[in-house]
Structure 1
Amino acid sequence: MKKVLKSLALLLIISLLFSNIAFAKSDNGKQSLVALGDSIPFGYNLGQHNHHPAKSAYPYLIGNDSDLRVRNLGVPGWQTHQMLTALKTDQKYRQAVRHADYIVLNIGNNDLLQALRAAQAASNGNSLLFMQLLQQEIQKSNLFANVGGIIEVTRSLTDAPIVVYNVYNPFQLDDPLYTFGSAILPTINSRFKDLTTLYNSQYGNVLLADAYSAFGQNQSTYVLPGDIHPTVEGQIKLAEIGMDVLDLN
């Protein structure tokens, strides 16, 4: 009788063990989304502080709607060269990308802002000179070469879909810089389109999310006042276009 009881107890323990393992696998078996980029996927200025990514940032909104685990690796202030270096050398980034089922990438905004500030400072109000200097500063930043490098390194680590967000106009309509943004960003964004088209033809599943068109002239709704970062509504819009591109709706 004791042997029977011991056998039953052993079977019960084994049953519970496998049940817990199965539950753990089920719980952790969700597909994952990794967000790479700057303060936009981070959700800057949406929480009480900026110590951690905001849960209202678009990577988490995509994750909530599509039942995905989210790893948000957005870093406020980062430029393309920092993102590229991290993917080449930082095991945290490399391992996250290796295990991702979906990648969203939003980078280059700070490269453009730095180029803008440098051109403004050097042009002394001369609009023609400003545009010439801006083009030079953008070229010096290696923005598009770096974005291409980011896509290449990412694709070397995973075959997951990569969604690249282009640049929305961050200035309110009554800001003089809005006109500048409307003049320069279509050219900038055509380069993003060319890059994604090129790498999609080479590697497959390199996709473009058109934030510029999605925001349109709705900056009062989608951009924080006195800021350049998305509102919660703006983050929702970024999530929507990302999900559309990934066919997660």
Structure 2
Amino acid sequence: MRVRNLAVPGWKTINLLNALNNDQKFIQAVSKADYITLNIGSNDLLKPIKDAFVASGGNLDAETIVINNSLETLVHLYPGLVVANAYEIGLNPLNNLIPGDIHPSLVGHKKLAQIGLEALGLD
């Protein structure tokens, strides 16, 4: 697969929406893509998961965390939309996150890639 990374550190949803509506580089890249992965706002999600893991003494399981269930509703509304449950990397922050940080480690990035491939049926 050819990958085109359009990430911009620090962007909020409004910045992405503006680029998708006004920036020709973004518009062309999205219109030509077979697959699009979108990740925005993860830092806001990973930090509470990491804090909960630490507070639990490492006994946190997926059932303890309530992730936005409306994502599943979107799958029914938009055919072809796939939700990859990437939040699970936060369940093992000692391996999947950079120590003292909320960003994925090399192991975490590999896990994210596998989650994405499985979600798209490309594993």
CA offset digits 1:21-73 (Å, max 9, x no partner): xxxxxxxxxxxxxxxxxxxxxxxxxxxxxxxxxxxxxxxxxxxxxxx111001
2:88 counterpart of 1:228:
no
CA offset digits 1:194-247 (Å, max 9, x no partner): 233322xxxx211100012x3263110011111110001111111001101111
| Offset of residue 185 of structure 1 | 5.6
- Distance in 2 (alpha carbons) for counterparts of 1:205 and 1:84: 20
Q: Given the two structures, how large is their TM-score scaled by the length of structure 1?
A: 0.42
- 1:210 aligned partner: 85
- Distance in 1 (alpha carbons) for counterparts of 2:41 and 2:90: 19
- Distance in 1 (alpha carbons) for counterparts of 2:106 and 2:13: 25
| Offset of residue 109 of structure 1 | 2.8
- 2:119 aligned partner: 245
Alignment check: 8 A CA contact 2:50 2:91 kept: no
Moved over 4 A (4+): 167-170
Q: CA RMSD in A?
A: 2.6
Match for 1:79: what amino acid? K
Q: Where do 5+ consecutive residues of structure 2 fail to align? A: none
- 2:4 aligned partner: 71
Query: Percent sequence identity over matched residues?
Result: 45
| Offset of residue 89 of structure 1 | 0.7
Q: How many residues align?
A: 117
Q: Given the two structures, how large is their TM-score scaled by the length of structure 2?
A: 0.80
2:3 counterpart of 1:85:
no
- Distance in 2 (alpha carbons) for counterparts of 1:98 and 1:195: 21
- Distance in 2 (alpha carbons) for counterparts of 1:170 and 1:224: 14
Matches within 5 A, 1:157-196: 167-168=45-46, 170-171=49-50, 173-174=53-54, 186=66, 188-196=67-75
- Distance in 1 (alpha carbons) for counterparts of 2:104 and 2:95: 9
Secondary structure in structure 2 of the residue aligned to 1:71: coil
Secondary structure in structure 2 of the residue aligned to 1:70: coil
Secondary structure in structure 2 of the residue aligned to 1:230: coil
* Structure (1/2) with the larger helix percentage: 1
Q: Where do 5+ consecutive residues of structure 1 fail to align? A: 1-67, 114-166
* Structure (1/2) with the larger strand percentage: 1
- Distance in 1 (alpha carbons) for counterparts of 2:41 and 2:77: 18
Q: Which has the larger radius of gyration?
A: 1
Secondary structure in structure 2 of the residue aligned to 1:224: coil
- Change beyond 3 A, Cα 1:248–1:107: same
- 1:106 aligned partner: 39
